[in-house]
Copies of this chain bind each other. A is one copy, B any other.
Amino acid sequence: MARSNRKTPPPEIKERISRIRRAMSRAKLPAFLITSHMDTFYATGFTGEDSAILVLPRAVHVISDGRFDEAIDNEVPWATKHLRKGVLSAEIGNVCRKLGLKRVGIQPEGMSLATHQAIKKAIRPCRPVDAPPITATLREIKSQQELTILRKSIRIAEEAMKATLATIEPGMKEIEAAARLEFEMRHRGASGVAFGTICATDGNAAHPHAHAGNRKFRKSCMILFDWGARFGFYCSDLTRVYFIGKIPPRIGDVYEIVLEAQLAAIDAIRPGRRCCDIDAVARNVITRAGYGEQFTHGLGHGLGLDVHEAPSLSWRSDKPLKEGMLVTVEPGIYLPGVGGVRIEDDVLVTSRGAKVLTSIGKDLDQAIL
């Protein structure tokens, strides 16, 4: 059931596999098994789900099923194909035994304990060993090719928001605005949303995790949108707050504090700085203004094939930033019963500091509809 032709992966994929192999070599892994969908896509460009990639020093095996037969031939003709009839773990076992593997590295992050138990049993006498987070670490640094797709994903989200804002008026429901925004993203080529769109007014915006509901926009109200597109598998992630009618006085002040904190944090970003230090820059601005307790989450997170990926831009992480990382910067202040303000951009770490890839306006006067 194994076939192989057209021998060479495209350059970007070749480079990724080389890096995976160098990491394998450092971790003394003779083989490396990848099972989570975004990781198998990242490593090979193969779009199929429910599949596994086995990387060896001189070969790459794709273990999948009949649904993806044609996709494998089109997307990874340079890999060795195995189509399972039974369950995936059994076919992984067959391949490991056929190759005479003694140990195979597995990343504990992307696999359920149940799957791990099944694979452990199925690959005998081969043994699973915990691998370091090889793919998560590689995925932290975005290539030019990835950034091109990410920029497009951001552009789709922003253009969709501009089209949505033109339709907003008192009486419209949160859920209607969210539906419109998602439609406009899809219409511009998004394959879907990066996550469930948040559209929250007034008191509902005081919950950082608020979902869109049946509340109607009032003649005077604040609206928080947290939204993103998925395009070519890559996620964008933005937050903006808009106002209809009058800005509630306390919310206006809070808006300026959050924006100041966000700009200060962006300004502090450069390679070598630790994630916790950038978080602290924003947190200090907010704490000095008296709202430290109301900034209830970390400053941001890595963004790419997953909407939340490494690094975590939080007080909990002392990881240094590196050139090519893409992170969200999204401080927020939440006033229970009143409202909440969060401002979020997608920011690339470059050798000269931060480059903000999002461009939709965020000054207070641009927030008034």
Contacts and interface: CB of A to CB of B under 8 A. Distances in A.
Nearest to A68: B209
A179 B186 contact: yes
Contact of A67 (B49, B68, B189, B207): B207
Nearest to A213: B191
Categorize the interface residue count of chain A. Answer: 35 or more
Interface string A48-68: 110000000000000000111
A343 interface: no
B70 A336 contact: yes
A323 B114 CA distance: 27
A296 B67 contact: yes
Nearest to A197: B192
Contacts of A208: 67
Contacts of A106: 113
Interface in A108-130: 108-114, 116-117, 130
A178 B186 contact: yes
A312 to B, nearest CB: 11
A122 B183 CA distance: 44
Q: What is the count of identical protomers in the complex?
A: 2
Given A68-B209, A113-B116, A209-B68, A176 B182 contact: no
Given A70-B207, A87-B316, A112-B111, A192 B186 contact: no
A251 B182 CA distance: 33
A147 interface: no
Contacts of A114: 107-109
Interface string A196-232: 1100000000011101101000000000000000000
Contacts of A180: 183
A71 interface: yes
Given A112-B110, A196-B191, A175 B179 contact: no
Given A67-B297, A179-B186, A209 B108 contact: no
A28 interface: no
A211 B183 CA distance: 16
A273 interface: no
Interface in A93-150: 106-114, 116-117, 130
Given A114-B109, A180-B183, A175 B196 contact: no
A154 interface: no
